[in-house]
Chain A
């Protein structure tokens, strides 16, 4: 779920956010703030309000009731292989099951439709044993052939936008309860890949009967909820799946997934009681909302990193002294305090706070003297002028840009801020037609392989998110870690990669920002997971 900061529609992949509305401007484009970025613990200085405790269930869960839950954008499609936007992804995870699902701590996967799995010693054969007695919501049983069909589809269908996650897989269904996946070579992130929403298991018979377009509108899965009605742009009504395998869940009878794009409106609605939960609380409103007796604002660390990247085609950014100097010259704590109102923490490196992330080596601190010293050692002792491209309408991005501009002036670098419409800005990034650009990268999987391949490796397919950073040592380590089945060795590889990238500083690492959700007091069991999704089947209303 890599996406540019600008993508206001919460897209995971740099897709422009939709709302960028006309005047919608800022509202819509709350950019990345629209999605949930990540941070795990409140930064030291900023700990003012960052309690990341999920609502603690008061008493035991009660069944029944309707949850009204507003997000900033609608679902694009319910077909698992089509969407790349977060609202679709997070909704789909509540109507479908996958073979395995992400554990709540996002460090591992846990059983879902598969109750157990065996991996052959050479790491090339995975055998999954399906949970007995599970049915789709139309009553047909979930069979191994459905799994085979669904996984083949996500990995190889020409409509699939998610094939990139999967290695070449040979999938067979020796009997109705067993699925075997055979690989040409070991692929360490396979289980993480199989837990993404795109690998959801759908009923082959129904799909083939109604066709792809109808399925995207009227999906059937085996998950906790069933899509009952969908008024596009307004509300998707999810009803309890009475045959869900993990009874008595889900507790709620109904979830209304509403669309309220404008932040101010969404917050006013949750305050007035029109909503039970509203996502994406603007950072500046967190403290005010917390004072409201009826509301709790949950601050949940999620996986993702906000940075400003350097185009290393430019001579000034080929100089490592310059890149490091910029990292020392920006006061991340001040930035977090001013822009995120304290709710975030400085990013240690390119990787979000996730599996194998390096939390031993401290982030670049704020040291102007050191930055000046590095500049004087560079080929540009007197500084230079540079353009910082930001997505217009992205309020967070713009505030970051204004502060970075002021701070880099201290070391002789003149920053000109240039706003451009989000999709145009992203195209410039892809084309390498920029000098500095803001970017917010999240991960589609809990394994660091995806982000590392696309952001750190020079040969991963995107020239390290188009920074043109290319360190052969990093590239070798990335390749090795992808086929390394020993977790300890993989962790060591990843630590080494992160140290190298930290040192090389192909970006100005800024911060990890949390998801902020306003939840009314009578709602229990709601929690935004580090993967930024939520298990609505664990939510109940008192």
Chain B
């Protein structure tokens, strides 16, 4: 097993431990206002300082960890599954199925994401679940394209011809031979996507997407803290660093996974 896979897993586990145990140590009350303690710089009492409502930034970062891991997970997994399925089928069968699927993907990507989000939020209401739906509705296209292009190459590979010659069914060929071989780029992308999706809610803050105040969530903390960046940079910097840690963990995990799968493939 490659070192980066081990390191990535370890880092992610560490984040999980902090996410679960941290609130027990630091408390879960991260919404009570202490207006008299507003905008205090980092000190021994508040290791990461306080925000404009006097809330402890460290406690909010730690309590936000589970929320953000959840956001990343539920944003990526549905998009990954749908995308791999559509991309794989499109490339494998080719022809009109391919044209149709890829043009649909073109339309979806070419369509302004936030108009779609406004519509989804309008119909279903704001909040996290609807953010996942919006992300899945658009996010699958990236995976579909990645998988499709790998399948196009893999289809030509000898092992597929061999399987066909042996009279295996399409279903068996796709599931047993193609999927494990073509998922590498998609998986690597998913590990980047995880972080991108955490930021999405705050990037689209004006749409009312994602966590609602005063719940702690890293992206929102950065968005709110950015107004204080010249005055109290700690409010937005520490949640940003927390996302960087997650980013590094997934980066290691993604590269490690890729190396691991490549080795398997060559066997």
Contacts and interface: CB of A to CB of B under 8 A. Distances in A.
A282 B117 CA distance: 29
A338 B52 contact: yes
Interface stretch (A51-59, A95-103, A420-428): A420-428
A424 B213 contact: no
Contacts of B228: 284
B57 interface: no
Interface in A375-408: 392-393, 395, 398-399, 401-403, 405-406
A403 B213 contact: no
Contact of A284 (B31, B122, B227): B227
A406 B52 contact: no
A25 B229 contact: no
A20 interface: yes
Contact of A288 (B35, B206, B223, B231): B231
Contacts of B242: none
A483 interface: no
A25 B204 contact: yes
A284 B231 contact: yes
B205 A392 contact: yes
B205 A421 contact: no
Contacts of A351: none
Nearest to B127: A418
A29 interface: yes
Given A334-B35, A418-B126, A264 B226 contact: yes
A405 B212 CA distance: 13
B227 A263 contact: yes
Interface in B98-134: 114, 118, 121-122, 126
A282 B205 contact: no
Contacts of A419: 126, 208, 212-213
Interface string A14-49: 000001111111111100000000000000000000
Nearest to B54: A338
A337 interface: yes
A83 to B, nearest CB: 22
Secondary structure call for the A interface: helix
Interface in B35-79: 35, 38, 52-53
Nearest to B215: A417
A213 interface: no
Contacts of B31: 406
A285 interface: yes
Contacts of A398: 213, 224
B230 interface: yes
A27 B208 contact: no
Contact of A25 (B33, B121, B126, B202): B202
Contact of B230 (A27, A288, A401): A288
B203 A25 contact: yes
Contacts of B204: 22-23, 25
Contacts of B7: none
A28 B227 CA distance: 11
A344 to B, nearest CB: 15
Nearest to B122: A424
B207 A392 contact: yes
Contacts of A405: 214
Contacts of B230: 264, 267, 285, 288
Interface of B: 31-33, 35, 38, 52-53, 114, 118, 121-122, 126, 202-209, 212-214, 223-224, 226-231
20 contacts: A8-B206, A22-B204, A22-B206, A23-B203, A25-B223, A26-B205, A26-B226, A27-B226, A263-B227, A284-B227, A285-B230, A399-B52, A402-B33, A417-B214, A418-B208, A419-B126, A419-B212, A421-B206, A421-B208, A424-B118
Interface of A: 8, 19-29, 263-264, 267, 282, 284-285, 288, 334, 337-338, 392-393, 395, 398-399, 401-403, 405-406, 416-422, 424
